[in-house]
Amino acid sequence: MKNIENREDVALLVHSFYAKIRTDTEIGPFFNDVIKDWDEHLEKLTNFWEMNLFGGRNYSGNPIEAHIEVDRNSGGVISTHEFGIWLNYWFATIDELFEGENADTLKRRARKMSTMLFLNMFNSRR
Ligand code: HEM
C-alpha cells in the first residue's frame, strides 16, 4: 500500500474506478450511454483529480453543467442512491490501492462534491 504521490497514481485510481463503474448494472448504463470515447474520459478525469490534489490547470470543464446535462438526458432519475453507489466504488478503489493523507483527502473531497453535484442536479429540475 502506498500514498497517492503523482499523476501516475491518480491515473491508476481513475482507471481502476471506472472499470468497476462501467460494469455496474445500476449506474454503468448512465456512463456507457454518454461516453463514446473512454480513453478521452479517463484522461479528462485523471486531469480533474490530479488538479484537485496537486494543483495546476490541466482540467478545464464544468462538472455541474455536465451532470445537469446527464440527468436531463436520462429523464431526471439520478438520485442519492446512484451517488451512493458511485461513492462506494470510489472509497473501495482507493482502499484497494492506496493509503495515507492524499487517499483520505480524495475520499473527503468526493463526498463533498457528490452533495454539491446532486443539489445542483436536483435544483435544475424545477
Ligand atoms: C462524487 C460524485 C461524482 C463526481 C466527483 C463526478 C465527477 C465527474 C467529472 C469531473 C466529470 C467530467 C465533467 C466534464 O468536464 O465533462 C464527470 C462526467 C460524468 N459523470 Fe460524474 N461524477 C460524480 C457522480 C456521477 C454520477 C452518480 C453519475 C451517474 C449516475 C455520473 C455520470 C457522469 C457522466 C455520464 C459523465 C460524462 C459526461 C459527458 O461526458 O458528457 N457522475 N463526472
> Measuring from each residue's beta carbon to the nearest atom of ligand 1, which residues come in under 6 Å?
27, 30-31, 34-35, 44-45, 48, 61, 63, 66-67, 70, 78, 82-83, 86, 110, 113-114, 117
Helices (H), 1-126: 7-23, 28-34, 38-54, 63-73, 80-97, 101-123
Provide the 3-class DSSP secondary structure of residue 2: strand
Contacts of 31 (CB under 8 A, 6+ apart): 18, 21, 22
- Given this model, what pLDDT does residue 108 score? 98
| pTM, to two decimals | 0.94
Residue 22 has what pLDDT? Answer: 98
Residue whose C-alpha is closest to residue 10's, from 113, 112, 91, 97: 97
Q: Which are the contacts of 1, defined by CB distance < 8 A and separation ≥ 6?
A: 97, 98, 99
Pocket probe for ligand 1: among 46, 71, 83, 86, the residue whose CB has the most ligand atoms within 8 Å is 86
> Which residue's CA is the closest to the ligand 1 atom numbered 15?
61
Residues written for the chain? 126
pLDDT tens digits along 63-105? 999 999 999 999 999 999 999 999 999 999 999 999 999 999 9
Q: Which of 17, 27, 24 is nearest to 71 (CA)?
A: 27
Which atom of ligand 1 is found nearest the CA of 33?
35
| pLDDT (tens digit per residue) in 22-70 | 999 999 999 999 999 999 999 999 999 999 999 999 999 999 999 999 9
Backbone angles phi, psi at 4, to 5 degrees: -85, 110
Is pLDDT above 80 for 126? no
| Domains within the chain, CATH numbers bracketed | 7-124 (1.10.490.10)
Residue 98, beta-bridge partner list: 2
